[in-house]
Homo-oligomer: A and B are copies of this chain.
Amino acid sequence: MIPRAAKTQRRTRIQEEKEEKILEAALDVFSAYGFRGATIDQIADAAGMSKPNLLYYFRTKEAIHRTLLDRMLFTWLEPLRAFDPEGNPESEIRSYIRRKLEMSRDFPRESRLFANEIIQGAPHIEDELRGPLRELVDEKAQVIRAWIKAGKIARCDPYHLIFSIWSTTQHYADFDVQVQAVLGDKSGEGRFEDAARFLETLFLRGLQVEKPGA
CB within 8 Å of B: which residues of A? 32-38, 112, 115-116, 118-122, 126, 129-130, 133-134, 137-138, 154, 156-157, 159-161, 163-164, 166-168, 170-172, 174-175, 177-179, 181-183, 194-195, 197-199, 201-203, 205-208, 212, 214
Contacts and interface: CB of A to CB of B under 8 A. Distances in A.
A149 B112 CA distance: 37
State the main secondary structure of chain A at its contact with B: helix
Nearest to A141: B182
A35 B37 contact: yes
A206 B124 CA distance: 37
Contacts of A118: 174-175, 177-178
A172 to B, nearest CB: 8
Nearest to A134: B182
Given A157-B198, A198-B161, A212-B214, A34 B177 contact: no
Given A164-B199, A194-B160, A122 B178 contact: yes
A33 B123 CA distance: 11
